[in-house]
């Protein structure tokens, strides 16, 4: 057997080993969370408010679930339309290439900003300067700033991936660019854009640092106003764990959060799979 064949087999084994290592780490985390957290998951845990002394040692996480959902919905509503609109301009706009290159560079830089820095910016601008206080609105908008680059980049890539022949054929037939975009390009890119929105939702749902200083509190009911503070699953998990209130409840909260993120990511992957199959 030649040296080249030995090297090919060695590299193949390295690649398989790397892939299996990722699977082992993932299933180890999931298995441990199920082992420690599953006994805490119950109807009461999902539907009751935190109780006991210290708070959270008994009861459930219902206000944290609703608070997380509201925060994510506000974030996607705030960042979705601007992100997709900017992506359309970057891909379909034909003027001022330097300006578009500058926007791309800024977005890439934004995507690398640590979430705690975005949280401090949201605190300074929304909580203090605009007077929203620690509230659902301030937290949702801060999360919107955090996921804006992700939505823009995934939408830009989705639009860029549409076959260029659709544009060329449409233009050669005298069809307007606006019609081509609305009736051909956008429907083709829609599954990948929705997939990007879902990934952004998962990113926002699991973020702790931005909401620690803008929206989340240890105890609150289900939000009744945009200007009220809320509970959120990641911050509730942080409190239970860091204060040693109840490790069983902490693992139950962690498992619930991971299941939520898995459901969002699997839905996003299914949408991408439908796009590849042309469904």
Q: Write the pLDDT tens digit of every residue in 141-192.
A: 999 999 999 999 999 999 999 888 888 888 888 888 888 888 888 888 888 8
Give per-residue burial for 228-263: e unless 16+ CB within 10 Å, then b. bbbbbbbbbbbbbbeeebbeebbbbbbbbbbebbee
Both tokens assigned to 198? 């879902």
- pLDDT (average), residues 214-222: 86
Q: How far apart are CA 23 and CA 40, in angstroms?
A: 26
Q: How far apart are CA 47 and CA 230, in angstroms?
A: 16
pLDDT per residue as tens digits for the range 6-41: 888 899 999 999 999 999 998 999 999 999 989 888
Contact 242, 265 (CB under 8 A): no
Stronger pLDDT, 86 or 52, i.e. the higher one: 86
- pLDDT (average), residues 110-121: 91
Give the fold, CATH level 3, of 43-274.
MetI-like fold (1.10.3720)
| Whole-number percent of the chain with pLDDT over 90 | 39
Closest by alpha carbon to 196, among 112, 84, 75? 84
Q: What is the chain's Cα-based Rg?
A: 23
């Amino acid at each position: 057997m030649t040296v080249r064949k030995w090297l090919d087999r060695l590299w193949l084994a390295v690649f398989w080993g790397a892939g299996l290592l990722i699977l082992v780490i993932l299933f180890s985390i999931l298995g441990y969370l199920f082992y420690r957290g599953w006994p805490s998951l119950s109807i009461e845990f999902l539907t009751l408010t935190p109780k006991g002394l210290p708070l959270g040692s008994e009861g459930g996480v219902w206000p944290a679930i609703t608070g997380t959902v509201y925060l994510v919905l506000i974030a996607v509503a705030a960042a979705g339309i601007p992100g997709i609109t900017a992506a359309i301009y970057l891909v379909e706009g034909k003027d001022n290439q330097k300006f578009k290159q500058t926007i791309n560079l800024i977005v890439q830089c934004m995507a690398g900003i640590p979430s705690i820095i975005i949280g401090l910016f949201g605190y300074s601008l929304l909580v203090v300067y605009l007077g929203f206080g620690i509230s659902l609105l301030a937290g949702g908008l801060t999360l919107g700033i955090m996921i804006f680059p992700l939505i823009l980049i995934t939408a830009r890539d989705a639009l860029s991936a549409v076959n260029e022949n659709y544009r060329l054929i449409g233009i050669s037939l005298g069809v307007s660019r606006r019609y081509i975009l609305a009736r051909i390009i956008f429907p083709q890119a829609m599954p990948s854009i929705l997939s990007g929105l879902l990934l952004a939702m998962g990113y926002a749902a699991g973020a702790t640092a931005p909401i620690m200083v803008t929206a989340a509190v240890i105890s609150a009911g289900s939000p009744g106003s945009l200007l009220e503070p809320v509970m959120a699953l990641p911050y509730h998990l942080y409190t239970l764990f860091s204060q040693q209130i109840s490790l069983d409840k902490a693992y139950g909260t962690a498992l619930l959060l991971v299941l939520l993120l898995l459901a969002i990511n699997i839905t996003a992957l299914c949408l991408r799979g439908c796009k590849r199959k042309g469904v």
